Amino acid sequence: MEVQPRYLNREQAAAFLHVQPKTLANWACQGKGPKFRKPGGRVILYTQEDLEAWVDGGE
């Protein structure tokens, strides 16, 4: 049985990383920071797995 990734919006991801949402937005514009998905419109989503990998230096 495959487990679906848990998606976090930018505010939730920022809280997880202990940074401001604006910091994540700036990193995304600069091509830095954790991997994110943009499923449509202005929605930005991060998986907890990607955030943890980024913190651990995996990305």
The answer to whether residue 36 is domain-embedded is: yes
Q: Check if the beta carbon of residue 53 is closer than 8 Å to that of residue 59.
A: yes
State how far the alpha carbon of 32 is from the alpha carbons of 2, 26, 29, 45, 59, in Å. 29, 8, 8, 15, 10
Look at residue 34 and tell me whether its pLDDT is greater than 70: yes
Look at residue 22 and tell me whether its pLDDT is greater than 70: yes
Look at residue 1 and tell me whether its pLDDT is greater than 80: no
The answer to whether residue 44 is domain-embedded is: yes
H helices of 1-59, where?
10-17, 21-30, 48-55
The answer to whether residue 23 is domain-embedded is: yes
Look at residue 25 and tell me whether its pLDDT is greater than 80: yes
Q: Check if the beta carbon of residue 37 is closer than 8 Å to that of residue 46.
A: yes
**What range does the domain containing 22 cover?**
7-55
Count the domains in the chain: 1
The answer to whether residue 1 is domain-embedded is: no
pLDDT at 59: 60
